[in-house]
Structure 1
Amino acid sequence: MGRGDLTNAEWDRLESFLPRGGARGGRWSDHRRVINGALYRVRTGVQWRDLPERFGPWETVYERHRRWSADGTWKMLLSKVQAAEDAVGGIDWDVSVDSTAVRAHQHAAGARKALPAAIAQKGAAPGTPGRSSLGEVARPAGGGGQIGKCLGRSRGGFTTKVHLVADGRGRPIAFILTPGHYGDGPQFERVLEQITVPRTGVGRPRTRPDHVLADKAYTSRRNRRYLRRRGIQHTMPERLDQQRHRHNRGSRGGRPTGFDSERYKKRNTVERAINRLKNFRSLATRYEKRAYIYLGTVTLATLLIWLRT
């Protein structure tokens, strides 16, 4: 077993959930070897063609990663692991929300126009046949050009932004991708809607955290109304311009928002989650042309974090 490969205990947790048959009734190559190859690439950031020979043909590893990114297999595996953790009380539901910008390599540009959903249909294999994981990719109007690939110009250059929710133990629970110039506040509802942790027994998936912590970028009246409507407690500081506007309106400005400075210190958990993700070199720099493949890379890295934390 090489450094970074799945241990026997980690493999035992995943093996029963993996698809049994390949496309058109064929047999898959060794799942464990292929997954280890994908993990090696995610961890080191090498080109697919430079994968060591012990992982088998690089085309097999890349095609499996591409297909499982499109049809939601990586997302399904992550949901299974999260469900097992939640069943034993291993998830701290005081969650934090934040985002991080990822610089896009020059190899990320130049993708031809295609519909990833059609690719997902082509090789559907897991428990949700034909289902695409693209719900976690921002869907702007039109969906064309670089915006459709979740690439945009920001102060950091040509970037993609990862918006994520982390539990109280610093593990990403849900995330979405947007172009790098998209603001954080407008994506608040979208990223929280991605929280879906299935139950191991009977019951609907858990979608509502106990408490949400976020910085000033998310402290809009719309976001606060959204949290109150769902019955979610929250801790977010108020911006100075919002305080002045409230004071200027007098009695019509409403009461000050509650803020627990001691509880707000726990927001560093999302910063630790971002740090863990960016330890994977394929996440710290985006090399993928397609947004759905990069999203699969983020999901695979998150899966490994959950298995080892």
Structure 2
Amino acid sequence: MGNRQPRPWIVSDELWSLIEPLLPEPGPKKVEGRPRVPDRQALCGVLFVLHTGIQREYLPQELGFGSGMTCWRRLAAWNEAGVWDQLHVLLLEKLRSNNQLDWERAVIDSARAGHPAGPKSGPSPVDRARPGSKHHLIVDGQGIPLAVSLTGGNRNDVTQLEPLLDEIPAVAGRVGRLRRRPDALLADRGYDHDKYRRLLWQRGIRPMIAKRGQPHGTGLGVFRYVVERTIAWLHGSRRLRIRWERRDDIHEAFLGLAVCLITHRHAQRLCYSG
């Protein structure tokens, strides 16, 4: 039969050991009745929805996840408590402590996530004005996610350049200063604007942005492909391909969790190769 791949919604002991200390203490039960579904089982339910894209009300009860509403409430509470932000920083620090973050260059890009309506959505200017949202992502030179954000589909990519840079956390892990600024930023023609080049220089970041009207062959694509690959990994989680959630905080929670999972895989590769 060969080695079977682990199901992606199963939380490993190693990953749970990182997540459990970050979870907020549960509040008192308002109504007596069934015992509280353990957090680890609820997280497995959240991951099942993230990977399969299934609607929460159809979450298989026989797998022991608890109800879809239970998983939704836990996900919202954990996101509000900043669990995914804290986990992401923890993983980045682990990578930096082993000199596995490439700060020489970062790469930025975005991708659409269609949705009929809801906060942080808007008509796409490139898709017949269909409503939707955008995922904006910045990665290091290897494709490790540094920051992610959600906006309406009508937001111009370049307007999110500074906000996304501001979202990069200060990463410890080595002696000396915390690090949160790459040496250079690579981007496609959608970010071609002299104003933002000047802003990057002011931050001490060298802009490497393709120019409109110029023929292909700049060579930047050799380095920019890593962000496209990471976006493909994000959208490998079916719940992120199309934004079904009307609540933006729930979709952002799924997005933050997926970023942590990708970063964790990079950290795991470090362990296996070390």
| TM-score clears 0.5 | yes
Q: Does 1:99 align with 2:88?
A: no
- Alpha-carbon shift at residue 29 of structure 1 (Å): 4.2
The code of the aligned residue for 1:15 comes to E
Q: Distance in 2 between matches of 1:90 and 1:229?
A: 27
- Alpha-carbon shift at residue 271 of structure 1 (Å): 0.5
**Mean Cα displacement is larger for which, 74-83 or 42-51?**
74-83
Q: Which residue of 2 aligns with 1:152?
A: 122
Q: Which residue of 1 aligns with 2:27?
A: 23
**Contact (CA 8 Å) 1:196, 1:205: kept in 2 or not?**
no
**Contact (CA 8 Å) 2:210, 2:220: kept in 1 or not?**
no
Q: Does 1:32 align with 2:40?
A: yes
Between the two structures, name the one with larger relative contact order (CA 8 Å, sep ≥ 6).
1
Q: Does 1:74 align with 2:75?
A: no
Q: Distance in 2 between matches of 1:238 and 1:56?
A: 51
Q: Distance in 2 between matches of 1:225 and 1:291?
A: 32
The code of the aligned residue for 1:152 comes to G
- Alpha-carbon shift at residue 202 of structure 1 (Å): 7.7
Q: Deviations over 1:96-128 (max 9, x none)?
A: 001111111x5xx4xxxxxxxxxxxxxxxxxxx
Q: Could you say if the C-alpha distance between residues 41 and 204 of structure 1 is closer, same or farther in structure 2, counting changes exceeding 3 Å?
A: farther
**Contact (CA 8 Å) 2:22, 2:83: kept in 1 or not?**
no
**Contact (CA 8 Å) 1:216, 1:239: kept in 2 or not?**
yes
The code of the aligned residue for 2:231 comes to I
- Alpha-carbon shift at residue 197 of structure 1 (Å): 3.7
Q: Does 1:266 align with 2:223?
A: yes
Q: Distance in 1 between matches of 2:155 and 2:202?
A: 25
The code of the aligned residue for 1:50 comes to Y
- Alpha-carbon shift at residue 189 of structure 1 (Å): 1.0
Q: Deviations over 1:1-24 (max 9, x none)?
A: 9611122222233333333x2125
5+ residue gaps, structure 1: 110-145, 242-259
Q: Distance in 1 between matches of 2:6 and 2:229?
A: 26
Q: Distance in 2 between matches of 1:281 and 1:86?
A: 30
Q: Distance in 2 between matches of 1:30 and 1:271?
A: 36
**Contact (CA 8 Å) 2:93, 2:171: kept in 1 or not?**
yes
Aligned ranges for residues 1-309 of structure 1 at < 5 Å? 3-4=7-8, 5-19=10-24, 21-24=25-28, 29-53=37-61, 54-93=64-103, 94-104=105-115, 106=116, 109=117, 149-154=119-124, 155-156=126-127, 157-200=130-173, 205-240=178-213, 261-309=218-266
5+ residue gaps, structure 2: 267-274
Cα RMSD (Å)? 2.7
- Alpha-carbon shift at residue 210 of structure 1 (Å): 2.0
Residue-pair matches, total = 251
The code of the aligned residue for 1:74 comes to W
- Alpha-carbon shift at residue 261 of structure 1 (Å): 3.5
The code of the aligned residue for 1:11 comes to W
**Contact (CA 8 Å) 1:195, 1:206: kept in 2 or not?**
no
The code of the aligned residue for 2:83 comes to T
**Mean Cα displacement is larger for which, 76-85 or 186-195?**
76-85
Q: Distance in 1 between matches of 2:120 and 2:177?
A: 31
**Contact (CA 8 Å) 1:95, 1:166: kept in 2 or not?**
yes
